[in-house]
Amino acid sequence: MKRLFDGIPLSKMSVSMTMNGAVIPVLAMFIAGAEETGVKRKQLMGTIQNDILKEFMVRNTYIYPPEHSMRIIGDIFAYTAKNMPKFNSISISGYHMQEAGADAVLEMAFTIADGIQYCQTGLGAGLQMDQFAPRLSFFWGISMNFYMEIAEMRAARRLWATLPKERFNPKNSRSMMLRTHSQTSGWSLTEQDPYNNIIRTTIEAMAAVFGGTQSLHTNSFDEALGLPTPFSARIARNTQIVIQEESGICRVADPWAGSYMMESLTDEIYAKARKVIQEIDELGGMAKAVASGMPKLRIEESAAKKQARIDAGKEVIVGVNKYRLEKEERIDILQIDNAKVRDSQIAKLKAIKEARDNDRARRALENITEVAKTNGNLLDAAVEASAARCTVGEISGAMEKVFSRYAATIRMVSGAYKSAFSKEDEFSAVVERVKRFAEKEGRQPRIMVAKMGQDGHDRGAKVVSTGFADLGFDVDVGPLFQTPEEAAQQAVDADCHAVGASSLAAGHLTLRIMERNHALNEQLRFEGFDVDVGPLFQTPEEAAQQAVDADCHAVGASSLAAGHLTLIPALIKHLAKLGRPQLRFEGFDVDVGPLFQTPEEAAQQAVDADCHAVGASSLAAGHLTLIPALIKHLAKLGRPLVSLCSLRTRYILAHFTSWNSDW
């Protein structure tokens, strides 16, 4: 921590930290590190997120069960109220709920309800409302729904001015002030045509300012691809500077006041949010509502419905499901060697443990465990442990001995895709084919969706699971934070036909489910096939060289947005230069059809070229309409068709069959 803040005057600089599950050790290290550089606790300024309820709903970086997690929040409230009067002890976040799929009403209602629960926690810790409530802050996500976002922020201020007064009767008006930070949406950023993201972020930033945010974070346009580069970060920073310095928007407070549209929309959101909060009250408050799973399920339902609308083309995403580029531009991205970072951190931890007074560290950790059993202050004990150079893992582990580790119940939403595609004959046709498969095999096709690594964002995995479930698949959703070995074993134990791995931040490069484990290879590595996964953002030259170095029999290239028109031909060229078969899979000739073919044109091309097999690539649920049409036209032309997959892993290598309707 001292190295992190070297050269930063903590007595003058406000520091914001997004920390939740491991909030005790990280905040303790911040305090201890500041004191060792001569900065007193009372001088420290900043914000710690410390919003554990939303972790149980959406972000999933919890460690301990809800009851013990709320005790930690109370200890932080008490400690900061006594020792750090300039420090915001919590940032109550709706941002992560929106990123997980919550609509405006759910984001606002659940966030305000979280705030009420935290007030009750502070009171339960023996504090007066006015001792801690003025230091509460809020954090909103800002989406592309421009008018709705402005109305939501206006309604939230009204709701927070009302509910604390009704329930706690504070004397200080600042206890009812909704101080807020906002961040433009990360979920709205697209990998395709990424420069559109600059426009999206600008629109979202304007909505935040019109809504009355006190501070603002604007995302960089390349964050759908990786961490921002200095170039993209500068554009993001300048977006809000231009709004602030050039537009004049910030010179007017609440310019939408009096607008019939805006006032009625604000009233509508306010009323709907109060109704949701009433439901929460009937469950016994937000902590009990979270324990029941209600908020999490509502958010996942909202996310699934939104994605189904996008996949059905009912909600436009420019550059993704409409107005797509024929050829995507390649942009520079920032790449991090995660393995190198991990090895470096392990070496640093080893050095710290070798240099510290281990007896002092042991006593400090034992004290934390004892305090966890009693009513002492955990943050106070952790500051001493941090000074003794105990690690984040050790401090967390000392509390875990008493609190235990929380494991969430996995639930899955269904019906969203069925509703969005209810009028599509092709959707019904796929459902019928799944039924025929079940009749033939004696059970439904079974897929496991695995979520490995330390990333807790599971929106993508849950939405994909919903889609498969609505088609009639049995879907196993793996628990968060699985290792590849655990995911592979679960898939084998459940006798899954297929496994899909969901990852963010290039996790697939290190967290491969197809680990080189001979005991599992037979069932998970395509019946004994070795599979090499190339890194992201390879050039055709690099991909060709990797294939040659690994002595691959075949090369498969994955691309989006017409990449196959330029990148795959280049790959074929470089493979030929290196003396390898030209992407021909040990003798296969490969014809690549042009973009934007109709099913009729694709079928005719396959017949004219006398192809043995046809593979169709589609996005945005195109397989529900285009591929069945292709099958139909191939059948009319009397051509054999590849059995794309009988949904068993061992049949993924397609075998040639005569046309039949049970493909």
Under 8 Å between Cβ of 587 and 612: no
Strands laid side by side in the 474-477 sheet: 474-477, 446-451, 498-502
pLDDT, tens only, 519-534: 344 444 444 445 566 6
pLDDT of residue 346 exceeding 70: yes
pLDDT of residue 89 exceeding 50: yes
Alpha-carbon distance 509 to 493, whole Å? 25
CA 21 to centroid of chain Cα atoms: 17
Say which CATH architecture domain 49-311 belongs to: Alpha-Beta Barrel (3.20)
Q: Which residue has the higher pLDDT, 172 or 556?
A: 172
Under 8 Å between Cβ of 499 and 524: yes
49-311 and 591-663 share one fold: no
pLDDT of residue 11 exceeding 70: yes
Looking at 16-20, 395-399, 654-658, which range is the least confident one?
Answer: 654-658
In angstroms, the Cα distances linking 190 to 37, 235, 445 are 43, 17, 31
Alpha-carbon distance 575 to 559, whole Å? 17
Looking at 100-109, 113-122, 168-177, 517-526, which range is the least confident one?
Answer: 517-526
Q: Which residue has the higher pLDDT, 623 or 308?
A: 308
Alpha-carbon distance 178 to 270, whole Å? 15
pLDDT of residue 103: 96
pLDDT of residue 309 exceeding 80: yes
pLDDT of residue 248 exceeding 50: yes
3 state DSSP class of 265 = helix
Say which CATH architecture domain 416-537 belongs to: 3-Layer(aba) Sandwich (3.40)
Which among 147-151, 337-341, 436-440, 593-597 has the top mean pLDDT? 147-151
What are the phi and psi torsion angles at 580 (to 5°)?
Answer: -105, 155
pLDDT of residue 510: 57
pLDDT of residue 456 exceeding 90: no
545 confidence band (pLDDT: 50, 70, 90):
confident
Helix (H), strand (E) counts: the chain: 25, 12
pLDDT of residue 37 exceeding 60: yes
Q: Which residue has the higher pLDDT, 297 or 337?
A: 297
3 state DSSP class of 116 = helix
In angstroms, the Cα distances linking 224 to 97, 195, 221 are 18, 11, 8
- In the numeric block, the tokens 């791995």 are attached to 501
pLDDT of residue 531: 57
Q: Give the mean pLDDT of 459-475.
A: 83
Taking the CA atoms of the chain, what radius of gyration do you get in angstroms? 28
Q: Give the mean pLDDT of 343-368.
A: 96
Summarize the chain as % helix, strand, coil (round to 5). 55, 10, 40
Sign of the Cα pseudo-torsion (395, 398, 403, 407, in order): positive
pLDDT of residue 623: 53
For the chain, the structural domain boundaries read: 49-311, 416-537, 591-663
501 confidence band (pLDDT: 50, 70, 90):
confident
What are the phi and psi torsion angles at 518 (to 5°)?
Answer: -60, -35
Which among 236-240, 412-416, 591-595 has the top mean pLDDT? 236-240
pLDDT of residue 654 exceeding 60: no
Q: For 314-336, give the secondary structure using H, E and C.
A: CCCCECCCECCCCCCCCCCCECC
Looking at 76-85, 365-374, 442-451, which range is the least confident one?
Answer: 442-451
Q: Which of 84, 82, 75, 210 is nearest to 142 (CA)?
A: 210
Looking at 19-33, 36-50, 575-589, which range is the least confident one?
Answer: 575-589
pLDDT of residue 662 exceeding 50: no
Burial of residue 166 (CB within 10 Å: 0-12, 13-18, 19+) is: exposed
Under 8 Å between Cβ of 140 and 180: yes
Alpha-carbon distance 590 to 511, whole Å? 31
pLDDT of residue 536: 57
Q: What is the DSSP string of 468-486?
A: HHHHT-EEEEPPTTB-HHH
Alpha-carbon distance 379 to 404, whole Å? 18
pLDDT of residue 111 exceeding 90: yes
pLDDT of residue 526: 41
Alpha-carbon distance 233 to 659, whole Å? 54
Alpha-carbon distance 148 to 137, whole Å? 21
Q: For 294-314, give the secondary structure using H, E and C.
A: HHHHHHHHHHHHHHHHHHCCC
Alpha-carbon distance 660 to 641, whole Å? 8
558 confidence band (pLDDT: 50, 70, 90):
low
In angstroms, the Cα distances linking 437 to 311, 442, 595, 654 are 25, 8, 32, 17
Q: Give the mean pLDDT of 331-348.
A: 87
Under 8 Å between Cβ of 586 and 552: no
- In the numeric block, the tokens 């036209």 are attached to 633
Q: Give the mean pLDDT of 219-224.
A: 94
Alpha-carbon distance 576 to 564, whole Å? 17
* Cα atoms in the Cβ-side hemisphere of radius 13 Å centred on 376: 14
Q: Which residue has the higher pLDDT, 276 or 445?
A: 276
Q: Which of 465, 543, 454, 462 is nearest to 505 (CA)?
A: 454
Burial of residue 59 (CB within 10 Å: 0-12, 13-18, 19+) is: buried
pLDDT of residue 329: 82
Say which CATH architecture domain 591-663 belongs to: 3-Layer(aba) Sandwich (3.40)
pLDDT of residue 480: 75
Sign of the Cα pseudo-torsion (456, 457, 459, 461, in order): negative
pLDDT exceeding 90 applies to what percent of the chain? Answer: 53
- In the numeric block, the tokens 């009204």 are attached to 158
- Mean pLDDT over each residue of the chain, to the nearest integer: 84
Q: Per this entry, what is the length of the chain?
A: 663
Alpha-carbon distance 95 to 104, whole Å? 10
pLDDT of residue 331: 87
Q: Give the mean pLDDT of 606-627.
A: 67
